[in-house]
Amino acid sequence: MAAGQGSSGEGRVFVREMISQTYGLDEFRRRQLAAPRVRSPEDDVSILGKQGYTEGQDAWWRVGPGDDPFWTQTLQVHLVELPARGAAKGHGHQNEAPFYILEGAGYEIHDDQRYDWIKGDLVLVHTDSVHQHFNPYDEPALTLVIKAKATWLFAGLMQQGSRKAFDREDEFGPREDWSRIWTPGVTGLKKIVGKDDASWETTQLGRVRVLCGPERPDVRQFSADVFELEIPAGSRSGKHWKMADEILYVVEGEGYSLHWEVQAEIAEKYYARIATEPTRHEIGKGDTLYVPQNTVVQHFAADGSPLLLLSAQNRLFKKLGYDRVHYLEDAPEFGGADVLGAPEPAGILD
């Protein structure tokens, strides 16, 4: 199976299984860490016509549970291009589906409400949304979809499909309002996050603009945390350690990323052992970079090439008790000097 395919010959892989004859799962992690961590447009696999919702648009897998070599199913990534004067087929799914506008403009119809978007916006398809994408303009629109779909499927929330007439009228009663079981107040939250809805801040990680996350309770998104990270030419991000894995899309520029494996020493309690040498991963515009779980990472912009990264992580990690980021070194623009063993500062992802 090709990298980024997300489907098998028999159909799409929605959730990947893990089977082992032993209690230890070291072999799974060894294979995950051995896989190449950068995927480029030439790795994309078309899914046009393979799923009903792609009708009216072009779509390509970049990351999915069916990948081989396998990365993750905490997040899935695909790209969608809406042709000029085009529209996608209306469909619905229980999982959220945030998408970032890389090129062009258009609008959504979500539950019979219209939401307009332009380049640089983050658009939020909310839980249980019947939605349709439209491009009324003369230029195509390109979007990057990053979603935590497998989280819903693990929980058994799998009622999805294209718009159609209900075909079991004789077995069920009249319509009821589905939103009665939503969290109170969610319908008033923001569905489009644009440049005027989020400000840039200089943090230990670097220059960051948070689009959605726990620190943005005004945004209707509960599964994926998304932020932009801007690194000046020749500079670097903060060197940081976190448990959540992460997918970063290179919006602009080029550079590289250093990753230090963190191994668990299971003694009288858990201890972390950080590799003495990192692996290096070259990145350029349009690439996707994967950072595995429990990794120390630092990103570098090439000389003469500012780097703009879009980062996404599954918020479930924060709910499982891993809601801190430890900084071994601050970004130069922050002006501090944090080293391993120094007092723990709050991180941008805390």
Q: How confident is the model at residue 338 (pLDDT cuts 50, 70, 90)?
A: very low
- Model pLDDT, residue 342: 35
- Model pLDDT, residue 348: 42
pLDDT(52) > 70 = no
pLDDT(34) > 50 = yes
In the chain, the percentage of residues whose pLDDT exceeds 70 is 90
For residues 345 and 304, the model is more confident at 304
Interval 190-232: pLDDT, tens? 999 998 899 999 999 999 999 999 999 999 999 999 999 999 9
Tokens linked to 169 = 């009228």
Tokens linked to 346 = 């709050």
Q: How confident is the model at residue 23 (pLDDT cuts 50, 70, 90)?
A: confident
Interval 133-162: pLDDT, tens? 999 999 999 999 999 999 999 999 999 988
Tokens linked to 335 = 């002006």
Beta partners for 208?
Answer: 201, 229
Tokens linked to 15 = 């959730």
Helix (H, G, I), strand (E, B) or coil at 273: strand
Q: Name the phi and psi angles at 294, rounded to 5.
A: 55, 65
State the average pLDDT over residues 47-75.
Answer: 80
Cα–Cα distances in angstroms (integers) from residue 37 to residues 3, 13, 149, 221, in the given order: 10, 20, 21, 27
Tokens linked to 345 = 């500062």
Do the beta carbons of residue 79 and residue 62 sit within 8 Å? yes
Beta partners for 124?
Answer: 98
Question: How many CA atoms are closer than 13 Å to the CA of 264, on its beta-carbon side?
Answer: 13
For residue 224, give the nearest of 232, 214, 239 by alpha carbon. 214
- Model pLDDT, residue 331: 98
Do the beta carbons of residue 132 and residue 108 sit within 8 Å? yes
Question: How many CA atoms are closer than 13 Å to the CA of 185, on its beta-carbon side?
Answer: 3
State the average pLDDT over residues 177-198.
Answer: 94
- Model pLDDT, residue 346: 39
Q: Give the predicted TM-score (pTM) of the model.
A: 0.91
3-state helix, strand, coil in the chain (%, to 5): 10, 40, 50
For residue 274, give the nearest of 339, 335, 349, 350 by alpha carbon. 339
- Model pLDDT, residue 5: 53
Rounded Cα–Cα distance for residues 4 and 64 (Å): 6
Residue length of the chain: 350
Question: How many CA atoms are closer than 13 Å to the CA of 203, on its beta-carbon side?
Answer: 23
Strand pairing category for 91-93 and 97-103: unpaired
Beta partners for 264?
Answer: 272
Rounded Cα–Cα distance for residues 77 and 91 (Å): 18
Domains of the chain: 7-193 (2.60.120.10), 201-334 (2.60.120.10)
- Burial bucket for residue 75 (CB in 10 Å: 0-12, 13-18, 19+): buried
Interval 274-311: pLDDT, tens? 999 999 999 999 999 999 999 999 999 999 999 999 99
- Model pLDDT, residue 337: 45
- Model pLDDT, residue 336: 52
For residue 311, give the nearest of 203, 217, 230, 197 by alpha carbon. 230
pLDDT(114) > 70 = yes
In the chain, the percentage of residues whose pLDDT exceeds 90 is 79
Return all residues near 276 (Cβ < 8 A) that are at least 6 apart: none
Interval 234-263: pLDDT, tens? 999 999 999 999 999 999 999 999 999 999
pLDDT(40) > 80 = yes
